Amino acid sequence: MRSSALEWLRDPQDGRPLTVAEGATIVDGVLVEGELVGTMRRYAIRDGVPDLAPDETLFGTARFARGYYRGIADSYDETVHVTFDLYGDTEDGFRETLVDRLGVRPGDRVLELSAGTGRDSERLLRRLGAHGHLWLLDLSPDMLRHAADRLRDAPVPVDLCVGNAAALPFADDAFDALFCFTGVGHFPDLRRALAEMGRVVRPGGRVLFCEKNVPPWLRDTTYGRILINNNPMFADPVPLTDLPVCARNVRVQWLLGNVHYVIDYDVGEGEPVGNFDLDLPGYRGGTFNTRYYGRLEGVTPQAKALYERAAAARGESLHAWLDRVVRSAAEADLSGDGDAGPVAGDEAPTGPGAG
Ligand SMILES: C[S@@+](CC[C@H](N)C(=O)[O-])C[C@H]1O[C@@H](n2cnc3c(N)ncnc32)[C@H](O)[C@@H]1O
């Protein structure tokens, strides 16, 4: 990691900036060995890669994943082609299509999450141009070691760190885009990881991730059953309910053998905004906001029938009639000499279960 890249990093435990401990080895602006100092702990830097997910912070699935990828890191590059051969696709063709879909532009700052041995990294770099910047994060230092070798002479600034998707060690809005191919299925707390992905990409940026999944319409086929039998991750659900509120223009598509979902979206800010004060034509009238915020207590069925007839007789929408009548009756009562004040026990209900 270049020391200038420190500004991007945050302590995954509390989101605060990190500092470099005294005595660190820096060669040509690259932090090679030493420690990063957070509020509550220090993080080792080995061979230029800070470990922001030390073993003692990992439990369950994450601990398992680190051990699993330690075991296969050295053979991963030789065997990964099977993932594509199984469906008559080529690794090169599919990965290029997926990276294209992210829509990275020259000069962008991109996070490749669960980058593994860096098989998509060069493809991303090619699209970033000389002024772009790529960060690689993976839970497995063993996988990242191969990525570091692959990218040693990269023409674009590249920084690597060990980290956990459930607590990304980056500042809010740090990236223009985030890319993740077949990492999501390993994440220990998927909802949190998806929130983190939305947090570190700036509004207007893009997120794309792809993972195994036999879709519902293929579950009862021999094809689907063979895949799930071989790897139960094919039965994991598509995490649509875990997407963050900031996700806009979400696209979901099943590619690569029709058994890998790809979700990509634009990052927005907070909830979408609707034009909910727009006057609605027709019998009910009002606006989406009056219907949502202006709900009143119920009335008797007889009163309701009268109100509908009266509105029709006046040629008003239900909303217009009700709003006018309630308003004028309330104003008349409130302008009286006090006899319209709240009657004891008639105060507006408050709190859960009121009414
Ligand atoms: C199937 S490999 C994919 C690697 C690479 N994206 C590729 O396309 O070849 C899954 C990667 O997810 C990483 N991973 C697993 N759990 C993770 C987590 N909690 N946070 C970040 N990465 C994780 C693994 O270490 C592994 O490198």
pLDDT in tens, 55-88: 999 999 999 999 999 999 999 999 999 999 999 9
Q: Compute the distance from residue 139 Cα to the ligand 1 centre, in Å.
A: 7
SS3 content of the chain, % helix, strand, coil (to 5): 35, 25, 40
Query: Quick one: which H or E segment has residue 180?
Result: strand 175-181
Q: Compute the distance from residue 39 Cα to the ligand 1 centre, in Å.
A: 27
> Which residues in the chain land under pLDDT 70?
337-355
| Inter-residue contact 280 to 260 (CB < 8 Å) | no
Residue 350: predicted pLDDT = 45
Residue 299: predicted pLDDT = 96
Could you please state the CATH topology (level 3) that the domain comprising 51-267 is classified under: Rossmann fold (3.40.50)
Residues 119-167 pLDDT 10s? 999 999 999 998 999 999 999 999 999 999 999 989 888 999 999 999 9
- Report residues whose beta carbon is within 6 angstroms of any ligand 1 atom: 62, 65, 69, 80, 114-116, 119-120, 138-140, 143, 164-165, 181-183, 186-188
What ligand 1 atom has the least distance to the C-alpha of 62?
A: 19
The pick from 95, 186, 212 for probing ligand 1's pocket by mutation, whose C-beta has the most ligand atoms within 8 angstroms, reads 186
Sequence-distant (≥ 6) Cβ neighbours of residue 30 within 8 angstroms: 1, 2, 3, 48
Which residue puts its alpha carbon closest to atom 4 of ligand 1? 116
Q: What phi and psi, each to the nearest 5 degrees, are found at residue 282?
A: 110, -175
Say how far apart CA 116 and CA 96 lie, in whole Å. 17
Structural tokens at position 76: 């991963």
The pick from 52, 59, 98, 114 for probing ligand 1's pocket by mutation, whose C-beta has the most ligand atoms within 8 angstroms, reads 114
Distances (CA, A) of 61 to 145, 165, 179, 255, 264: 21, 12, 21, 26, 25
The terminus-to-terminus CA distance of the chain in angstroms comes to 60
Structural tokens at position 325: 């009548």
Distances (CA, A) of 192 to 118, 243, 254, 301, 334: 24, 9, 23, 48, 51
Residue 155: predicted pLDDT = 84
Structural tokens at position 217: 């319409």
Residue 355: predicted pLDDT = 34
Q: Compute the distance from residue 190 Cα to the ligand 1 centre, in Å.
A: 13
What ligand 1 atom has the least distance to the C-alpha of 73?
A: 27
Domain ranges of the chain: 51-267, 288-334
Residue 162: predicted pLDDT = 98
Structural tokens at position 69: 């990828």
